[in-house]
Structure 1
Amino acid sequence: MPDSLFTDLLRDTEQLRWDPTDQVRKRGRRRTRRTRIAALAGVVAMVVVVTGAVALAGGRDGAPTPIMPATGSPTPTPAPSATPNPQASPAPSTTPVAPPSSPPSTSGRPPTGSTNPAIPAAAMLRLSDLPAGFTMTEGDVDGDWSLESVSIYCRDAPSWTSRGALTQRTVSFDSPTDSVIQRVVRYSGGNAARAMDGVRAAFTDCVPHRESSSLSVLADGLGAGDESLLVGSDIEGVRSRWLVVRQGDLVAQVTLDMDTTPAEARQRARPVAQRLCAGTDAC
């Protein structure tokens, strides 16, 4: 006797009309295609949201980062064995060891050959080194005040001033009746001594374009620093004086009054040399 389940199934399906096989296959392919399209649309929407958030976080001009397709599943890292090996030596300690601390510096001046060529403020003249009534200003000073400015009046302009120069610092002092400008330059190697020789050569060998102009070394060896000079120029009736002092790898040039004598320059050179010791260990 037929099973009741099959009898019920035959009764329910006896009047059904079955579609041809090719139509059933087409409907199946359409359903599969719609499923894939829906899934792709969801991925695209997620990419738009993520890249939009990245653009907002990076600013109005932020460009979305392209998402590269995966090239394969990541390889799992094997877990280490939990069974201890009695023959193995103990693992070294992973506690970091702090490097030995350097001894504290006992001086504010950089050592010879230091990687930091900066010139400290203590190496410059201060208000206490000048008569009362001056004010001080830090920073470069415009105008034709330096030794280099007079080289244009020579037929053969020297180029000694910038050879081996690493860095410089400038300070100016002003009073109602006077002005003093100091520039200190740090040189590499033996270029500081060569710069001093260049000053001597420029103010001794200069051949002016006009006979009414002249450059000269007014005093050499003022008893301050490693070397010290007083040089002057007379350019068509306009006189200028400079004090030049070297201490180690530092060379200072200081503008002086146009009537400064060698004796007065000697007095002015001493505080300049003493201040330079704060910027070099050559003292």
Structure 2
Amino acid sequence: MPDPLFSTLRQETEHLIWAPVEQVRRRGRQRTRRTRIAAVLASAAAVAVVASGVVALAGRPDAAPPPLPPATVVPSAPTPTPDRTADPTPTGDPTSSRTTPSSPPADSGGPANQTSSRTPSRAVPAAATLQLADLPHGFTMSQGKGAGDWTLESATIYCDNRLPPLAVGVVATRFVQFDSPTDWLVERVTRHSGTGAATSMQRVRRMATDCVPARSGDSLSIMAEGLGGADSVLVGGEIEGIPSRWLFVRQGNLVAQLRLDHQTTPAEARHYAKLVAPRLCAGTDAC
């Protein structure tokens, strides 16, 4: 007995008219071309979608970076244990591996190796004052401020007006006194800072010319100038009937004030100024 399924198929296809073989082949080739074209178009569309997505992500600064691959842990080799039985004493001379510090260069004793860090002293040296050899025989020399108030500044107390002091920027002072059986001479040398020495000499002249005596008969005056050194002036005074003489000599930043005999003339004062000026050069580089 035939299978019912095959009987049904035979009955349904018994009266069908089949297309020629060439027509069937042509339809197959057309279907194949359409399938290929559709596949190409689908691939192009997929590429366009992916490209647009990449561009969009590149334009976003807050786009999250791709995740990093998990780190690979490389097992480390165990640290070898040193052999405690090995002899720790190195072979050879143990001092050969040490660095010997280099010895400092020997001092050649030249000026370049004798740089001094000391600040030059501003003290007035003893050589900057008059020396015993500068005076006549019979004088003795002693260090000190001298007896009594002998300076020109002390005489201004007899002036009725106030006068400026002579101590302008004084940084050092030295006194020397000479005595003889019949006379005495005192010298004070002061070192001034800046232009203090020149200013002090200007004030000496002001004292002599601007003093207004408090009593009748007293006076101060300039007796002579230009006696020696860079600047010099001889001041004469009459205080309570007693004459006085003060000689001032400047060299650089040093000023010497001498109290001379009350009868000293300008010519005699010039002699002393010529002795004082070169002595002052021992304490200043201005000469």
> What amino acid does structure 2 have at the position aligned with 1:162?
A
Aligned with 2:162 (options 136, 157, 160): 157
Q: Distance in 2 between matches of 1:279 and 1:192?
A: 14
Matching of residue 175 in structure 1 with residue 175 in structure 2:
no
Aligned with 2:146 (options 136, 141, 148): 141
Matching of residue 217 in structure 1 with residue 222 in structure 2:
yes
The CA RMSD over aligned residues, in Å, is: 2.4
Aligned with 1:200 (options 205, 226, 229): 205
Counterpart of 1:45 in structure 2 is none
Q: Distance in 2 between matches of 1:193 and 1:102?
A: 39
- Aligned 1:252-263 pairs, distance under 5 A: 252-263=256-267
Higher relative contact order (CA 8 A, sep 6+): 1
Counterpart of 1:18 in structure 2 is none
Q: Is the 8 A contact 2:234 2:248 kept in 1?
A: yes
Q: Distance in 1 between matches of 2:284 and 2:165?
A: 22
Matching of residue 271 in structure 1 with residue 275 in structure 2:
yes
With normalisation by structure 2, the TM-score equals 0.60
Structure 1 position 220, deviation (Å): 1.3
Q: Distance in 1 between matches of 2:103 and 2:268?
A: 65
> What amino acid does structure 2 have at the position aligned with 1:277?
C
Counterpart of 2:55 in structure 1 is none
SS in 1 for 2:238: strand
> What amino acid does structure 1 have at the position aligned with 2:149?
D
Runs of 4+ in 1 over 3 A off after TM superposition: 90-104
Q: Distance in 2 between matches of 1:280 and 1:154?
A: 34
Matching of residue 131 in structure 1 with residue 114 in structure 2:
no
> What amino acid does structure 2 have at the position aligned with 1:279?
G
Aligned with 1:248 (options 252, 257, 273): 252
Aligned length: 186
> What amino acid does structure 2 have at the position aligned with 1:176?
P
Aligned with 2:240 (options 236, 240, 249): 236
SS in 1 for 2:264: coil
> What amino acid does structure 1 have at the position aligned with 2:177?
S
> What amino acid does structure 1 have at the position aligned with 2:151?
S
SS in 2 for 1:162: coil
Structure 1 position 93, deviation (Å): 4.3
Q: Distance in 2 between matches of 1:267 and 1:242?
A: 14
Structure 1 position 266, deviation (Å): 0.8
Deviation string 1:199-241 (CA, Å, 9 cap, x unpaired) is 001111111111221111111111x110011001101201110
Structure 1 position 115, deviation (Å): 3.9
Identity value in percent:
54
With normalisation by structure 1, the TM-score equals 0.61
Matching of residue 119 in structure 1 with residue 128 in structure 2:
no
Q: Distance in 1 between matches of 2:241 and 2:129?
A: 31
Between structure 1 and structure 2, the one with the greater Rg is 2
Q: Is the 8 A contact 2:153 2:165 kept in 1?
A: no
> What amino acid does structure 2 have at the position aligned with 1:216?
S
SS in 1 for 2:213: coil
Structure 1 position 144, deviation (Å): 1.1
